[in-house]
Amino acid sequence: MARKATIRNFHQAKWDEPVIFELSNKGERGILFPEIEDEIETLIGDGFATIPENMRRKTPPALPELSQMQVLKHYLRVSQHTLGADLNIDIGQGTCTMKYSPKINEKLAGQSKITELHPAQDESTVQGILEIIYKLDLFLREISGLDRFTFQPGGGGQAVFAIVSMIQAYHASNGESQQRDEIISTMFSHPSDAAAPTVKGYKIINIYPNEDGLPDIEALKEAVSERTAGLLITNPEDTGIFNPMIKEFTDIVHKAGGLCGYDQANANGILGITRAKEAGFDMCFFNLHKTFSSPHGCGGPATGALGVTKELVDYLPVPLVDCHNSNYSFNYNLPKSIGKVRAFYGTIPAILKAYSWIMNLGSEGLKEVSQVAVLNNNYLLNKILEIPGASAPYAKGRHRIEQVRYSWEKLYHDTGITTEDITNRMVDFGFHMWSSHHPFIVPQPFTLEPTESYAKAEIDEYIAGLKQVVKEAYETPEKVKNAPHRSVVHKINHDSLDDPERWAVTWRSYLKKQKK
């Protein structure tokens, strides 16, 4: 008999798995180490003679004690309580670009020719990995139009921080770092675009959107002055709307003497379509763990690939990778370098996976990635607008790029069901649905980004799930309000997490507070 339902009868794995400490049995061992050689023991003794009493650990750490299969079993069960992109139709994590991370790239990154390299090895012994770093640099130069890339930042946030550090160093070299103490960003850009500059002591001016959902250019004109150090902006913003005035934005900031940094976390819809260079940016970054397919890893490891124009190369963190006559080497000779933001050269597995992904697709493939991502998004947009209670604020009747920020405001007014409630009930169908960064400018927001990785039928399945939850919101709201019902656990009690008397970030803290 054929499967009729478009909505699956999903239930997440539910192992009722204890916290690992509860599985501990004194004396069990998970792994053994080699024994010390007799000759060394005879010559050296137990190794503690030279360690003064006050530096010898007295009580062993109270780590759990489990045998090997038991550790494996525990973590495998816990993994089943995690909904990775490989398992679900992960179009509900907007801005995250939950595309396919090809397994061939995992296989390549797991080779000992990558994993067993020490970063301080003689350059002659690591020509292979240096070649990959250098070539990825060349690819991103072409994709962005900028002149030099570093992969040192370990994520988008750290790339923003590196950009801000360079902006400051640039103005300092012109004797203007005291004068220029303001950074401009927009409310629909990533929070890190505002937060990272505060670390360097900058005052932030946030540009709010106008009624079209675009950052208000009049507000920008008012915001610039001789105090402007720079602009940090995402485009398309999280609304999925491309700012057609983006070049005017960078012109305005340049005229005021500031530098422009492009947060290209949202690049998936524009590869080979439009570039940082022509939009007038001095610096940009891409998330290799978003557009360029490196896996998200529950929140890293990751890379914020940072590019600059040739005027700013000297400010980059060291080292860069140079190529002369097919010989690759490190270049630490950047006279105005900000120093370092992270040890060594970057998240090497992410760099390798991005390189391999680009080498598999080529320029035609990259353009196809973007075009299909945009097609998928507009197809999804069309369907969402048919759902009662849903809307897509701004840009009415217009197309979007790779994602859309929607609103459940009507649904909320009709039923009292919030976007958070919908998220919790979508979980019962094996879906994520993310709301928005704070603050919620769009009321009751939800942000969906299909990418190029999901089939039409999968997008249809997601929509069917959403429709079902909306139906319940109107007809049986209690079911949605009390969700989830088919997940790993039931509704979580959050209030203890904000109470110093009750919060517990570790098991030992939890046990202490339980006793009280």
Partner 1 sequence: MDKKKKAFVHPYIPNSVPDVKAQMLKEIGVKDINELYEDIPANLRFKDKLDLPEPFLSEYALERHVMEILAKNKTCQEYLNFLGGDTWQHYVPAICDEINSRSEFLTAYAGEPYEDHGRFQALFEYASMMGELLDMDVVNVPTYDWGQAASTSLRMAGRITGRQEVLVAKNISPDRFLIIKNYCEPVVSVKLVEYDPKTGMLDLEDLKSKISSKTAAVYIENPSHHGIIETQGEKITEITHKNGAISIVGADPISLGVLTPPSQYGADIVCGDIQSLGMHMQFGGGLAGYIATRDEVKYVMEYPSRLFGITSTIVDGEHGFGDVMYDRTSFHDRVEGKEFIGTCSALWGITAGVYLALVGPQGMQELGQLILQKSQYAMKKISEIKGVKIPFQTSPHFKEFIVDFSSTGKTVKEVNKALLKKGIFGGKDVSSEFPELGNCAVYCITEIHTMEDINQLVQALKECLS
- The 3-state DSSP class for residue 348 equals helix
Site string for partner 1, 332-371 (x = CB under 8 A): ------xxxxxxxxxxxxxxx--xx-xxxxxxxxxxxx-x
* Residue selected from 379, 410, 414, 477 as contacting partner 1 according to rule CB under 8 A: 379
The smaller minimum CB distance to partner 1, of residues 121 and 413, is found at: 121
Please report how close the Cβ of residue 257 comes to partner 1 at its closest, in angstroms.
19
92-151 positions binding partner 1, by CB under 8 A: 93, 96, 98-102, 104, 106-108, 110-122, 124-129, 131-132, 139, 142-143
Please report how close the Cβ of residue 474 comes to partner 1 at its closest, in angstroms.
23
Please report how close the Cβ of residue 277 comes to partner 1 at its closest, in angstroms.
9
Is residue 74 within the footprint of partner 1 (CB under 8 A)?
Answer: yes
The residue behind tokens 């991370």 is 101
Is residue 286 within the footprint of partner 1 (CB under 8 A)?
Answer: no
Is residue 66 within the footprint of partner 1 (CB under 8 A)?
Answer: yes
The smaller minimum CB distance to partner 1, of residues 1 and 300, is found at: 300
Is residue 468 within the footprint of partner 1 (CB under 8 A)?
Answer: no
The smaller minimum CB distance to partner 1, of residues 413 and 491, is found at: 491
- The 3-state DSSP class for residue 442 equals coil
The smaller minimum CB distance to partner 1, of residues 9 and 54, is found at: 54
- Residue 242 near residue 235, CB atoms below 8 Å: yes
The token pair that represents 429 in the structure block:
């169908």
| CA-derived radius of gyration, the chain | 26
Is residue 213 within the footprint of partner 1 (CB under 8 A)?
Answer: no
For 67, 72, 102, 303, the CA distances from 34, given in Å and listed in that order, are: 17, 22, 37, 36
283's enclosing H/E stretch is: strand 283-287
Is residue 211 within the footprint of partner 1 (CB under 8 A)?
Answer: no
Site string for partner 1, 294-333 (x = CB under 8 A): -xxxxxxxx--------------x----------------
513's enclosing H/E stretch is: helix 507-515
The token pair that represents 67 in the structure block:
């045998």
- Strand order of the β-sheet with 182-186 is 148-150, 304-308, 283-287, 259-263, 228-234, 182-186, 203-207
* Residue selected from 7, 64, 409, 441 as contacting partner 1 according to rule CB under 8 A: 64
253-272 positions binding partner 1, by CB under 8 A: 270-272
Please report how close the Cβ of residue 509 comes to partner 1 at its closest, in angstroms.
4
Which residues, 6 or more positions from 162, have their beta carbon under 8 angstroms from its beta carbon? Answer: 150, 152, 153, 304, 306, 317, 338, 341
Instruction: Determine if residue 66 is left, alpha or beta; phi over 0 gives left, psi from -120 to 50 gives alpha, anything else beta.
Output: beta
Is residue 464 within the footprint of partner 1 (CB under 8 A)?
Answer: no
388-407 positions binding partner 1, by CB under 8 A: 395, 398-399, 401
Is residue 209 within the footprint of partner 1 (CB under 8 A)?
Answer: no
Instruction: Determine if residue 131 is left, alpha or beta; phi over 0 gives left, psi from -120 to 50 gives alpha, anything else beta.
Output: alpha
Are β-strands 203-207 and 182-186 bridged in parallel, bridged antiparallel, or unpaired?
A: parallel
